[in-house]
Amino acid sequence: MTRALPTAAGSPNAKHRSAIQTAFIRRTAHAIERLAAQADEATLVEAMSAPTDVGTLARVLVDVGAIDSAVAEIDADAVDLAAEIQHRANIMRRAGGTLSADEVGKLLNISRQAVDKRRRSNRLLAIRQGGDWLYPRAQFHEHETIPGLPEVIQDCAESGPWVTLEFLVTEDDALGGLSPRAALLKGGELRDSVATLLRGQSSGEGFA
Amino acid sequence: MSSTGGASGPSGIAAPPPPWLASRSLPILVIPLGTPLFRVHQTGHGPIFFGPPINPLTGTRQPPTNRFDSLTGAFGVLYAGAQFEGAFAETLLRNPRRRLVSQRYVAQRAVSELAADSGAKQPVIPIHSSH
């Protein structure tokens, strides 16, 4: 963990950091050093198995936050936030990761401009990360989007892309234990069942 | 709680009921005066609403959406819980495997506390399922 700071300071962009960026890095690096000191070896080993660096940090935060009541009492929101980051990492893992806009264009055999156009018209699901749009793999099957994808994106639009993705890849008893993605791929009555779930979700006034 | 709104009970191509149903009486419960019932609904809709909504163009109900909706649209259903927690969980936390609910989704919904007044001893049907 302590290697992170020298590496960051030595990065090509280090000279161009603003004062707030530098302060942010110092403060968070200090927190990471404390986390490394507090967590036991098993926790660190488990955290290092996360597929992303953000996932690694989230796992340690959740674990140490749960153990260290001082952290939890002083900054309970931080522990909750870390748990949410870990949950989002789990959703993304179940979604099979993401593709860039260029990769989506190649997969669907369409131009980069056509990818952007589909995203803007709610026919592709994308998550903004930094300045880029990332496209979860779960919305694709072979060289096409899964059937009914635009309806899913449209009906979940008010809740945002993360809720949409969680809906798409999470098993549901109302679908016989299948995820909406799997149900849409199977088609037939299951596709109607997904449409019913979406109606219930958007109206949100009855019991499903 | 259901509202017939003209037609009297289900009709059409719904599957026939199971044989044992003929010997069972409908478990209608008359709730005592002032008993609270909790309902979670969109802020743009009134607290009293029997769904699915009726299409103003056709005069027929939209397709069944929720667990106890009429398959044929012959009657409407108002969903309410005896406790707030039950109504909240059934509408916003339906699938326990999912953990994300957007703040915007919650902000667009309200909870109303309903109570029968002296002029309407509202009969309700307690309904349960394995979900």
Q: What pLDDT, in 10s, does the model give residues A132-185?
A: 999 999 999 999 999 999 999 999 998 999 999 999 999 999 899 999 999 999
Whether B68 and A207 lie within 8 Å, measured CB to CB: yes
What is the interface pTM, i.e. ipTM, of the complex?
0.70
- Give the per-residue pLDDT at B7: 40
Residue whose C-alpha is closest to residue A199's, from B62, B107, B87:
B62
Residue range B40-57: average pLDDT?
Answer: 87
Q: Is A42 exposed, middle or buried (0-12, 13-18, 19+ CB in 10 A)?
A: exposed
**Which residue has 């955290």 as its token pair?**
A47
Among the partner-chain residues B68, B97, B109, the one whose CB lies closest to the CB of A204 is B109
- Structurally, how many domains does chain A consist of? 2
Q: Does residue B68 contact residue B77 with C-beta atoms inside 8 Å? A: yes
Evaluate if residue B4 carries a pLDDT over 50. no
Same domain, residue pair A102 and A55: no
Q: Which of B62, B100, B108 sits opposite A162 (nearest CB)?
A: B100
pLDDT band at A5 (very low <50, low <70, confident <90, very high): very low
Q: How big is chain B, counted in residues?
A: 131
Q: Is residue A31 part of a domain?
A: yes
Residues from chain A that touch B131, judged by Cβ atoms under 8 A, are 173-174, 208
* A-chain residue closest to B78, CA distance: A206
Average pLDDT in chain B = 80
Among B residues 83-122, those touching chain A with beta carbons less than 8 Å apart: 90-92, 94-95, 97-102, 104-105, 108-109
As a whole number, mean pLDDT of residues B105-114 equals 91
The answer to whether the CB atoms of A159 and B105 lie below 8 A apart is yes
In a domain, A208, yes or no: no
Q: Please report, rounded to a whole number, the percentage of residues in chain B having pLDDT higher than 90.
A: 15
**CB < 8 Å to B39, chain A:** 205
CB contact at 8 A, A121 and A137: no
What per-residue confidence (pLDDT) applies to A204?
Answer: 63
Asked if B128 has any chain A CB less than 8 Å from its own CB, the reply is: no
- Among residues A34, A67, A94, the one where a domain terminates is A94
Say how many CB pairs under 8 Å bridge A and B: 87
- B9: pLDDT confidence band, cut at 50, 70 and 90? very low
**Amino acid letter for position B64:** P
Helix residue ranges per DSSP H, A76-148: 76-94, 101-108, 112-120
A32 & A113 share domain: no
Q: Scanning the structure block, which residue is given the tokens 């055999």?
A: A109
For a pLDDT cut of 90, what percent of chain A falls above it? 46
Gyration radius of chain A over CA positions:
21
Domain stops at, among A44, A66, A94: A94
Distance from CA of A104 to the nearest CA of B (A): 26
The domain boundary residue, chosen from A94, A126, A151: A94
Assess B24–A contact: CB distance below 8 Å, yes or no.
Answer: no
pLDDT over 70 at B131, yes or no: no
Same domain, A111 and A171: yes
The mean of the pLDDT values for chain A is 85
Residues A181 and A141 grouped into a single domain:
yes
* Judgement on whether residues A78 and A104 belong to the same structural domain of the protein: no
What residues of chain A lie within 8 A of the CB of B128, using their CB? none
Tell me whether residues B102 and A173 touch, CB distance under 8 A. Answer: no
| Residue B40 confidence (pLDDT) | 92
Q: In this predicted model, what pLDDT tens digit does every residue of A65-108 receive, in sequence order?
A: 655 665 666 677 777 777 888 888 899 999 999 999 999 999 99
Q: In this structure, are A83 and A129 located in the same domain?
A: no
Looking at the fold, whether A116 and A89 belong to one and the same domain comes out as no
The reply to whether residue A170 touches residue B97, judged by beta carbons under 8 angstroms, is yes
Same domain? For A62 and A120 the reply is no
Domain holding A61, by residue range, is 4-94
Instruction: Judge if A86 and A119 occupy the same domain.
Output: no
Task: Say yes or no to pLDDT of A27 above 70.
Answer: yes
Q: Are residues A117 and A85 in the same domain?
A: no
Closest residue of chain A to B127, computed from CA coordinates: A207
A86 and A148 share one domain: no
A2 pLDDT exceeds 70?
A: no
Do A128 and A68 belong together in one domain?
A: no
Of A91, A204, A206, the CB nearest to B77: A206
**A55 domain-assigned:** yes
Nearest to B104 among A159, A166, A203 (CB): A159
A80 within domain boundaries: yes
What's the average model confidence in pLDDT over A16-40? Answer: 85
